[in-house]
Amino acid sequence: MEQQIQSERVAYYDNAKFIVVIIIFLGHWTGLPTGLNFPISGINFFYLFNIPLLAMFSGIFAKQLLMSGQQTKYYIDNVQRIFVPFVIFHVIYICFILYYVNGQVDGFWTLNLMTPATITWYLLSFLFWRILLIHFQIMKPFVAIVVAIICSVGIGYVYGAGEFLSLNRTFVYFPFFLIGSYLDKDFYQRLQERSLKIVSFVVLICLLMVSVYFNEQIKWDWLSGHLHYRNQFGELFLYGGVFHLIVFIVQLIACFCVITLLPTQISWYSRYGKDSMNIYLLQGLFLLFISKQFARIDSRFMGILEKHDLMQVVLIFVVTILVSMIIVSKPMTFLAKYLVRPPLFAIFKKK
């Protein structure tokens, strides 16, 4: 029985990691010069829960290592599995964008680690979350979460707290990470009742309908951790904190609705969940490559695609899955393990 529960737990989290990363992948198509765009209403809907949910799951596993009592291992893990990959992929993305996408031969000043390149912001924020977690564990859970929410809301009033060190997103998403750290690994089992699943499905459908109906009014910045109240609300910036708090509550509700609906059974994609970080970090390179290649496609074909939204969505889904399968293939997995999880501290292990 215990083995069956363990197998179900592993399948659930593998499914969750793969599905969430695929949703993030879909969102990254927006804004690329490919001529393909996922409907912005769908992007707004995805951003209600994709990064918050990823932060929550990250918190669950970070807490487990922290509470194991192996403080030295926790700090080494922060450096080896987060900071070093951040530096590696920051350099890779900057070089790729400069030389392949933009065709520039200078501009190495943009290697400044203080401003994360594209999707590498998550690694830097993840590092800060794990450091903050050490100090927030001293507080009672309710107090810690309230303080985290106050910091999340308050960062929008701080001028200049944007891309620098990914401070804005770090504090915006930290409450989700902290809440995840207070959840035990079997918490999802308490959300598997049929009635809860029905309610969660209805709530998500309602949120999708709202994102479609208010498509033009909803701004992507509101849901992606880029909120700076003065820029967004002008003279009414003092009310920005209230708006942010409402967005946070809606995102939290959306997260638990998705958690309730995530499959617990072993599926064909379950085995790829362990490689979700590979997909997250490498998909941006493939997207940049694809965007460059789309410029060479016959304009008549692109004209047909632009007139048919459904065809664009299907093509984006297909390409996303195909690229993800390439990334989790054995050759790519072998290459990625030295970039995503470089064994820098292996020399210090005792024989």
Q: From the first residue on, what is the mean pLDDT of each consecutive set of 10 residues in the chain (351 residues)?
A: 56 89 83 58 80 92 72 76 88 81 56 79 92 91 95 87 83 95 84 90 93 77 78 79 92 94 87 88 86 67 65 81 90 83 55 43
Q: What is the pLDDT of residue 19?
A: 92
Pairwise CA distance, residues 274 & 70, whole Å: 23
DSSP state of 158: S
Q: What is the pLDDT of residue 196?
A: 92
Pairwise CA distance, residues 296 & 293, whole Å: 6
Contact 178, 57 (CB under 8 A): no
Q: What is the pLDDT of residue 351?
A: 43
CA angle 115, 51, 53 (to 5 degrees): 145
SS3 142: helix
Range of the domain at 10: 2-348
Side chain identity at 202, as an amino acid letter?
V
Q: Tally the domains of the chain.
A: 1
Q: What is the pLDDT of residue 123?
A: 92
Contact 3, 263 (CB under 8 A): no
- For the chain, what percentages of helix, strand and coil (3-state, to nearest 5) are there? 75, 0, 25
